[in-house]
């Protein structure tokens, strides 16, 4: 029923609904509001004002709502419709890999409408993208999301057994896509400098890059009006393999943190500040 409403309501009205829901969520969720504010206080010196922190926090909820609404709205549409309001910058980087017959690993984060990012790249460049994530708490939503992704050439491997699933996918010629800002246990992570503080970071992309000699291609999506979206593909992080394995992994992982910090600083309203990135 909710999906039907999203189909029939005018786009302008949906955006008003999204903003209202985002403001409400920011107001009532004291837990997430405190996380957002403490993250911003740590990331920005001198600290941002209360008004600016609230604006960024509301937009963080809007991005989450827009991502969820987008999953529902794209259920049942044709692939070409997905790209209707999406523009690309840096697409020649991926096309160069394809022309040379080389694979790569896509690295991104919870920035903008990250679900639209994976689907639009898979469609635009006619490739199968395999994402790494956790199973949703809602079995129904997980089923909807799985079917929605697979329709647009996006498959999933879950965190448990992710390494084995990724290796299998690489051997099948598929492209791995990794959200590098997900929460991860300290004993499974690499420590990086992120906004001038220490943070844990998944080493998965770095391990796969080093093992299979695959460059890491950063890509992020953003929007100013929640109607038109821009995918920006950045210069690749070159694969690295020397005799010093730990140093190689640390270098590759820090490079991923650096590009993410750069992207967030360009427009902090696009990032998912509710993550406990510095826990």
Write down the residue that tokens 């999906």 correspond to.
3
Does some domain include residue 277? no
- What pLDDT is recorded for position 5? 78
Distances (CA, A) of 197 to 143, 192, 218, 248: 38, 8, 22, 21
Give the Cβ contact number of residue 128 at 10 Å. Answer: 14
Direct distance between the N- and C-terminal alpha carbons of the chain, in angstroms, rounded to an integer: 39
Q: What's the confidence (pLDDT) of residue 154?
A: 87
The domain of 107 spans 2-270
Q: What is the CA radius of gyration of the chain?
A: 19
Q: How many CB atoms lie within 10 A of CB 137?
A: 7
Q: What is the pLDDT of residue 65?
A: 93
Q: Which residues pair with 217 in a beta bridge?
A: 106
Q: Which pLDDT tens digits describe the chain residue by residue (279 residues)?
A: 777 777 788 888 889 999 999 999 999 999 999 999 999 999 998 989 999 999 999 999 999 999 988 888 887 788 888 999 999 999 999 999 999 999 999 999 999 999 999 999 999 999 999 988 777 777 777 777 777 777 788 888 877 778 899 999 999 999 999 999 876 777 788 999 999 999 999 999 999 999 999 999 999 999 999 999 999 999 999 999 999 999 999 999 999 999 999 999 999 999 999 988 887
Confirm whether 275 is domain-assigned: no
Instruction: Provide the number of structural domains found in the chain.
Output: 1
Euclidean distance between CA atoms 237 and 259, whole angstroms: 9
Q: How far apart are CA 27 and CA 6, in angstroms?
A: 24
**Contact at 8 Å (CB) between 239 and 210?**
yes
- At 214 the three-state DSSP class reads coil
Residue 21 included in any domain? yes
Predicted TM-score (pTM) of the model is 0.92
Does some domain include residue 228? Answer: yes
Q: Which residues contact 215 (CB under 8 A, 6 or more apart)?
A: 97, 102, 104, 105, 209, 236, 237, 238, 239
Q: Quick check: 83 and 120 in contact, CB under 8 A? A: yes
Tell whether 206 is covered by a domain. yes
Residue 141: predicted pLDDT: 74
Report d(CA 163, CA 172) in Å as an integer.
14
3-state helix, strand, coil in the chain (%, to 5): 55, 20, 30
What is the model's pLDDT at position 151?
79
pLDDT of res. 230: 98
Asked if residue 189 belongs to a domain, the reply is: yes
**CA dist., res. 218 & res. 236, Å (int):** 7
Check residue 9 and give its pLDDT.
Answer: 83
Provide the pairing of β-strand 215-223 with 229-233: antiparallel
In this structure, is residue 278 part of a structural domain? no
User: By the 8 A CB rule, do 135 and 247 touch?
Assistant: no
Indicate whether 279 belongs to any domain.
Answer: no
Q: What is the pLDDT of residue 74?
A: 82
């Amino acid at each position: 029923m909710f999906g039907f409403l999203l189909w029939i309501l005018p786009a302008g009205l949906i955006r008003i609904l999204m903003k209202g829901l985002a403001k409400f969520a920011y107001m009532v969720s004291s837990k997430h509001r405190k996380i957002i504010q403490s993250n911003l206080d740590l990331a920005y010196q001198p600290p941002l004002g209360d008004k600016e922190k609230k604006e960024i926090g509301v937009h963080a909820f809007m991005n989450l709502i827009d991502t969820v609404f987008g999953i529902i709205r794209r259920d049942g549409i044709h692939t070409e419709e997905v790209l209707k309001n999406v523009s690309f910058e840096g697409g020649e980087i991926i096309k160069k890999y394809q022309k040379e017959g080389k694979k790569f690993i896509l690295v991104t984060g919870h920035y903008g409408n990250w679900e639209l990012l994976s689907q639009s790249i898979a469609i635009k460049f006619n490739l199968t993208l395999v994402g790494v994530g956790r199973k949703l708490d809602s079995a129904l939503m997980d089923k909807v999301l799985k079917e929605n992704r697979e329709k647009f050439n996006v498959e999933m491997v879950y965190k448990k057994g992710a390494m084995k699933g990724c290796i299998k996918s690489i051997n099948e010629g598929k492209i791995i896509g990794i959200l590098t800002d997900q929460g991860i246990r300290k004993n499974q992570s690499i420590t990086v400098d992120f906004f001038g503080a220490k943070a844990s970071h998944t080493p998965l992309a770095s391990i796969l890059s080093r093992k299979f000699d695959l460059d890491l291609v950063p890509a992020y999506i953003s929007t100013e009006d929640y109607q038109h979206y821009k995918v920006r593909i950045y210069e690749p992080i070159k694969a690295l393999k020397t005799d010093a394995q730990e140093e190689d992994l640390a270098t590759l992982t820090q490079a991923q943190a650096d590009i993410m910090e750069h992207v967030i600083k360009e427009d902090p309203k696009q990032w998912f500040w509710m993550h406990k990135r510095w826990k």
